[in-house]
Amino acid sequence: MPSVVKRWRRPGLFLLGGLLWVYGPTGHAGDSVTNTCRQHPAYCTLLNGQEAGAAPTAQAGAKVASIAATLRFLSPELKLRIERTLHECAAWADAEVNRQRLGGNAPSRQQCQEVLPTLDPCGQKVTRAMQWGSEKHALATQCVQEQLDPLIPGRFSLEPRYRYDRPTGQVQWLSPAEVRALLRQDCGKELKGTLVPDVVIHSGNPLQAVSIYDFKFPCPPDNHASWTKYTAGHTNHGLNQGDVYVEALKTEAALVTPRQGVHQRIHP
């Protein structure tokens, strides 16, 4: 943890965070704004498309032999190290935003539920929980980028976006450039229903996933973190977010929170 803090605590970092609060509703105060991004893609412009590694071919599925080779790459020791890094980045991001926004104190339930006076780009209300969750998410993903780059270069993606057709099982990875172009059109309407896990460990091709992780920053911190169910209007309405990730990418998924670390694993 100290190495992460030393590397990431620098002036001016919240110039990015200050732009990230204008997003739509998450549905409850215990969740970060990233869940809103799943429902309303236009809110994710500044968070989306952070890609590490070689661009894959956007073809559905992966061959069994390729999956086996991918799984061999991630030894138990390496997986433990990756997950420890994810936890440290989440805990540091949580503490850093609390330090800058709240003088180091944890947010209260009343503070988390406060509605900001300014609406997001699509006219939706924004709470403090969403603002702070967005800032924590941004810091955590930046931290992960720097920490994992030397460890598994080209073998992870941040906020990759997938189209998933459940009836056929077809999965398509969308390039960051394509996503940015679509986000500029009609509040990202064309991206509605796509899947956006926070961190995907893979073979070098995001379609050949080894493990999937989603950050959650409960507000207040004693709120229970859980997988989100897709809401009305989403193509996967009523389904558990983690279950859909696992079904689409054929690998395990887990939550990462500041207090509990990696937990609530879902296996294929």
In this structure, the strands spanning 199-202 and 170-174 are: unpaired
Q: Mean pLDDT over residues 204-211, rounded?
A: 95
Give the residue, 70 or 262, on which the prediction is more confident: 262
Is residue 214 a contact partner of residue 253, using CB atoms and an 8 Å limit? yes
The single-letter DSSP state of residue 20 is: S
d(CA 176, CA 50): 7
The single-letter DSSP state of residue 32 is: -
Q: Give the least confident one: 56-65, 71-80, 102-111.
A: 56-65
What residue spans of 149-251 are helical by DSSP H?
176-183, 241-249
Write the pLDDT tens digit of every residue in 115-136.
Answer: 999 887 777 899 999 999 999 9
- State the chain's mean pLDDT as an integer: 78
With a cut of 60, say whether residue 6 has pLDDT above it: no
With a cut of 70, say whether residue 262 has pLDDT above it: yes
Q: Where are the domains of the chain?
A: 2-266
With a cut of 50, say whether residue 220 has pLDDT above it: yes
Q: Which of 199, 195, 80 is nearest to 137 (CA)?
A: 199
In this structure, the strands spanning 156-158 and 261-266 are: unpaired
d(CA 197, CA 261): 17
Beta bridge partners of 244: none
| Residue 70: band (very low, low, confident or very high) from pLDDT cuts 50, 70, 90 | low
With a cut of 50, say whether residue 178 has pLDDT above it: yes
In the block, which residue shows the tokens 């939550």? 255
pLDDT of residue 41: 44
User: What number of residues does the chain have?
Assistant: 268
In this structure, the strands spanning 209-215 and 252-257 are: parallel
| Other C-beta atoms lying within 10 Å of the C-beta of residue 12 | 6
pTM: 0.76
